[in-house]
A and B are shown apart, each in its own frame.
Chain A
Amino acid sequence: MPELRNMTLNFGPQHPAAHGVLRLILEMNGEVIERADPHIGLLHRATEKLAESKPYNQSIGYMDRLDYVSMMCNEHSYVLAIEKLLGVDVPIRAQYIRVMFDEITRILNHLLWIGAHALDVGAMTMFLYAFREREDLMDVYEAVSGARLHATYYRPGGVNRDLPDSMPRFETTKWRSEKETVRLNGNRGGSMLDFLEDFTNRFPVYVDEYETLLTDNRIWKQRTVGIGVVSPERAMQLGFSGPMLRGSGIEWDLRKKQPYEVYDQMDFDIPVGTNGDSYDRYLVRMEEMRQSNRIIRQCIDWLRVNPGPVLLQDNKITPPRREAMKGNMESLIHHFKHFTEGYCIPEGEAYVGIEHPKGEFGIYMISDGANKPYRLKIRAPGFAHLASLDEMVRGHMLADVVTVIGTQDIVFGEIDR
């Protein structure tokens, strides 16, 4: 009889289920995982070091590219850290806009997650449905910032500009008929808020549709129930946060416990799991999408009736208005200084953690009084989650590794930074 040995399997870095560039070294005993060693860093761009060489505002765009499926939440943490060091307050309308876009981003993130996760596990349809809804939300991103993904919309002191009064519309072309154009522009007649409200009316029905496809699906349950179980004690020990922690039954949400912006004005619930397996985390994220929808509705209602400034008017931190810059010497100087040298931040340090779709996204910033950060540390939630992959997959089958990667909601932009 031949001697049986453990086999080492190389998974990735170019594997569709690796969600990017994860390289896994798996030690297998037959089809059972004995040990998993993730090799990360293939997408390392040294964002933190780059940020040390640039004025504060020039790094906002880098934040989008960290977790590239929840762009505005990354920016949010970064601008909050700057605002904390500067000690400035943000106009209330800007706070509502930021909360609204944080929740839009959460839905965007969870939609991509459910699409990719279900696709990995074997349900193709989810991916197509999820991307249909993402399209509408990315149009909202585009309407407000000009970019569908990397928005660079938040600024220290508010947001770049107010919400637009009209949605961009489709035009008839050689390939798009008159009838088709009318259909596509059906809900684009009013302002951006009208378009978004129309989406929030439709969205809960969509989530119900997803649930009919998955929640009681026999194959889905076979693949997720009891896979990657994490007890509440281990979840805290391993530094989990966000849905990963809530799936294990710990009621912890920074939006409720340490509210920032106007989250204390919002009415929403926190879903919590009980078993800490992949299925519970799936249910938690599905419910989070419904709750985000509720928050967006509340923000829309408030934003409709409360016009006002969306960016702090302090020329030492924010640029002067364009018209003023053209005709006023003082404003011209401020404008020039703002876009060349930037602003200096008082000496000190601050840590700001926000409830990012994936968990706690923290920015630790040290300033020595210069116009560039002295040290910027990005605390990415996925980094702590992926570190526990070894523990979560031990004893499971090879196919379950893919489920666990999916349930952790891994995105390499934030892990490798």
Chain B
Amino acid sequence: MADSQTLAAKLKERFSDTLTSCVVDKAEVTIEVLATDITDVCMVLRNDPEFRFEVLMDLCGVDYSAYGFTEWETDIATDTGFTRGVIKESENTFQNNKNPDKPRFAVVYHLLSITNNQRLRVRAYPQSSDFPIIDSVHSIWNGVDWFEREAFDLYGIVFEGHPDLRRILSDYGFIGHPFRKDYPLTGHVEMRYDAEKRRVIYQPVSIEPRVLVPRVIRKDHRYESGQAGEEPTDA
């Protein structure tokens, strides 16, 4: 596989004024661009012989609104049962909790170049957290069709210019975007067969949401100095 540092250097040179970040971590190159630049950057990434990313392997949405939230206090110790449990914060769902300057949602593209045998991750943050919208890359890679439909279905990210943006994985007539962090794991409705009405009906969920293992973030001295692998390099 081609060297990731070389690729990062080439990317910085070619997109000197469009990249907002370029990181090499664990031999993976990640670039971040503005949502408005995404189609221009992708077009160059596919066509330029130095990059030649012919295949879009994956596209997915990410919701950063609950990043770093925990359900269990680890800095203090008590001798009385469950007092270390903390209530999940729910007010801040409309911002990016990893990087407050950025919008809440991100779209992550994983590109593969068969010619040059290299991979690249591109991340763009659609502006506006209530109505995330970004240009579709369908005209650059036709195979992105269903991946964009999936990100729309699960996260509500709208891809402008997509030929047929419909729900794909969820049920016909489904309401909401289930992979958003403020959407409960149990969902809102459940379905059962009603013997009296002799048909399948929807009703509000009867199961209580519960946490079997709380989400915990522990400070670990082994990972304190940078990452486990090589040191990340910022642009």
A residues lining the B interface (CB < 8 Å): 40-41, 44, 46, 48-50, 53-55, 58, 84-87, 236-241, 250, 252, 257-258, 340-342, 344, 346-351, 353, 360, 362, 364, 366, 368-372, 374-375, 377, 379, 383-384, 386-388, 416-417
Contacts and interface: CB of A to CB of B under 8 A. Distances in A.
Nearest to A41: B169
B157 interface: no
Interface string B214-227: 11111010010001
28 contacts: A41-B171, A44-B169, A50-B185, A87-B26, A87-B229, A236-B54, A236-B55, A239-B56, A239-B143, A240-B55, A258-B1, A341-B216, A346-B228, A348-B25, A349-B30, A349-B121, A351-B119, A360-B57, A364-B58, A364-B108, A366-B62, A369-B217, A370-B216, A371-B217, A375-B60, A375-B62, A379-B110, A384-B146
Nearest to A417: B169
Contacts of B1: 257-258
A416 B212 CA distance: 26
Contacts, number: 138
B145 interface: yes
B114 A364 contact: no
A60 to B, nearest CB: 15
A49 B179 contact: yes
B142 interface: yes
Interface string B163-185: 00001111100000011000001
Q: How large is the interface on B (under 10, 10 to 19, 20 to 34, 35 or more residues)?
A: 35 or more
Contacts of B169: 40-41, 44, 416-417
B86 to A, nearest CB: 13
B171 to A, nearest CB: 7
B163 to A, nearest CB: 12
Interface string B45-66: 0000000001111101011001
Q: Give the interface SS of chain B, mostly helix, strand, loop or mixed.
A: loop
A250 B212 CA distance: 47
Contact of A241 (B57, B70, B98, B217): B57
Given A239-B144, A252-B114, A346-B228, A340 B213 contact: yes
A218 to B, nearest CB: 35
Given A44-B170, A46-B178, A350-B28, 11 more contacts: A40-B168, A85-B228, A86-B228, A87-B227, A258-B1, A353-B57, A353-B112, A364-B110, A370-B70, A371-B215, A377-B58
Contacts of A379: 57-58, 110
A351 B121 contact: yes
Interface string B132-153: 0000000001111111000000
B213 A371 contact: yes
Contacts of B60: 364, 375, 377
Contacts of B108: 364, 377
